[in-house]
């Protein structure tokens, strides 16, 4: 009985990080905030949803590569119909989800083109780690310069947020 109770407690502790409920819906991207966050007007709703793309981390808008990452996501998503599989919310209240446009996974495309890192909160390595290794090997996007690009958490540590205190 004691072992069973320990298992149930462990499972309850892991639920928020791994086994989140997923909700699928469609919408229209009406704004791209940066290389990993968009505003989506959900079908049948009047207000937009701020949505962070699951599995990636793009440069901050004020750091090197930030504008290029935003521009890349604009080309992929702005004013397009998207399918969203929502997996939860982050600590800032943004919805987190996987986005596809005509069957194309936007997170995968951002990492494949070197415009974002494969990233998963709490574990570091996201579902697109192989695509990131390819982009690094091909030296494209963020990985094209001689200097190693600074990940957003490291950038914020040294320079603070682009959006003020």
Catalytic residue list contains 52: yes
- Per DSSP, helices labelled H in 19-151 are 66-77, 106-112, 129-138
Nearest CA to 80 among 41, 121, 133?
41
Catalytic residue among 42, 52, 70, 112: 52
Catalytic residue among 42, 60, 70, 98: 60
Catalytic residue among 39, 94, 120, 156: 94
CB burial of 8-17 (b: ≥16 within 10 Å; e: otherwise) equals eeeeeeeeee
Catalytic residue list contains 60: yes
Catalytic residue list contains 148: no
SS3 of residue 34 by DSSP? strand
Active-site annotation, residues? 52, 60, 94
């Amino acid at each position: 009985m004691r072992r069973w109770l320990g298992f149930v407690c462990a499972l309850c502790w892991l639920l928020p990080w791994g086994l989140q409920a997923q909700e699928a819906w469609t919408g229209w991207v009406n704004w791209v905030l940066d290389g990993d966050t968009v505003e989506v007007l959900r079908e049948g709703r009047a207000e937009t949803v701020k949505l962070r793309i699951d599995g990636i981390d793009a440069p901050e808008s004020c750091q090197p590569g930030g504008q290029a990452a935003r521009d890349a996501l604009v080309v992929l998503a702005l004013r397009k119909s998207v399918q969203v599989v929502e997996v939860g919310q982050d600590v800032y209240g943004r919805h987190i989800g996987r986005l596809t446009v005509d069957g194309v996974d936007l997170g995968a495309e951002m990492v494949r083109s070197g415009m974002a890192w494969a990233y998963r909160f709490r574990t570091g390595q996201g579902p697109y780690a192989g695509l990131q290794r390819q982009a690094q090997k091909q030296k494209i996007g963020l990985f094209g310069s001689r200097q190693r690009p600074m990940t957003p958490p490291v950038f914020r540590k040294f320079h603070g947020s682009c959006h003020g205190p």
